[in-house]
Structures are given as C-alpha cells and as structure tokens.
Amino acid sequence: DLTGALAAIAEVPPSTADARFLTYRAQVLLAVGRVDEAGADLERALAATPRDPGALSLQAIVAVVQNDRERALQLSGAAVEAAPASATAHLARSYALQSRFDLAGARSIALRAVGLDPQDALAWARLAELHASFGEVGEALAAASKASALAPDLSRTRTVLGYARLAEVKPRAAEQEFERAIALDSAD
C-alpha cells in the first residue's frame, strides 16, 4: 500500500535521523520513482549508521539502474561485508554482478541469498530470473513457483512465474499469472 505508506511517512518529522526509518522511506520513495529524495534519505541513513546494509543495498540498486557498474559493485560489496547473513545485501550484489555481465556470479550469489533466507520470495524470484537466463526452464519454474507460494500477493512473484510459464510454452498459464500481477500492481 504505497499510498498509505507515503501518507504515514509524511507525518514523521523531517529531522528524524534513524537509519532504519530513512532506509525504509527511501525504499518507498524509490518504489514511486522519487529517486532524488530517496538518495538524500540514503545519504542521511549512512551518515547516521555508516555501514547500514539496507541503505548500502538500495544505493547499489540505484547505481545499477543508473548504469554505474563500478559503484554498484563497490556498494553491494560493502553491504555484503556489513551484513554477510543478509539476503537483501546478496541480492543487491547479484544485480551488480549482472550489470557487469557476470551471470554465473549473479546466479551464485542469488543461490546464497535463498540459502540465507529460504522464506525470501524476492530472492527466489531473482533466482528464477537467473535460471531462465541460462535456459534452465525447470529450475526457473521451480524457483518462480516457490517465490509465488511464499508471496502470492506480490506482483513481482507473479510476473516472474508468468515468464517461467512462457519459457515452458504454456501461454495461457503465463497470461493468468500476468493478469494476477497486473491486478496486484499495475505499475509493476
């Protein structure tokens, strides 16, 4: 509920310097495309807690999107170093490696992420994407199905499952998953 989250966040005093809150607010702001505001919150979070793995992970993802591969790799490495047991940090690292065309490394890190947190639906969705990139249809479908089972109301898991269904040449099943994803979040 991004609208509700934004409304609740707006009531928090702007001077709040708690790194966890600032990182959460940045995550919500990024979800609605407010990159500059999110970046300022991430900088403030890191000023308060210099090795905050959540803030470093989000900065790494922003760097990937901005095609700053070196910065993404550096930030994701710092996130993993700060929190070696964090699936989120490993997922940021996976995207950074993919941005450098290291798909094998990205998949290896995604496998580590699901090992660290087997209940993380986004980690399973990420792993499904990477299996699909190697043409591993069965593995992609298994990982996408796991992601969707863990978080059936998350559009991302439904979208990835839709692509896995397309890879196994089941267009009607894929279409159903895409329709579910659109119903959950048409902006995704």
Instruction: Identify residue 177 by its one-letter amino acid code.
Output: E
In whole angstroms, what is the distance from residue 151 CA to residue 32 CA? 21
Closest CA to 61 of 44, 76, 82: 76
Distance CA 62, CA 67 (A): 9
Cα–Cα distance, 27 to 39 (Å, whole number): 10
| pLDDT tens digit at each of 188 positions of the chain | 777 888 888 888 877 778 889 999 998 888 888 899 899 999 999 999 999 999 999 999 999 999 999 999 999 999 999 999 999 999 999 999 999 999 999 999 999 999 999 999 999 999 999 999 999 999 999 999 999 999 999 999 999 999 999 999 999 999 999 999 999 988 77
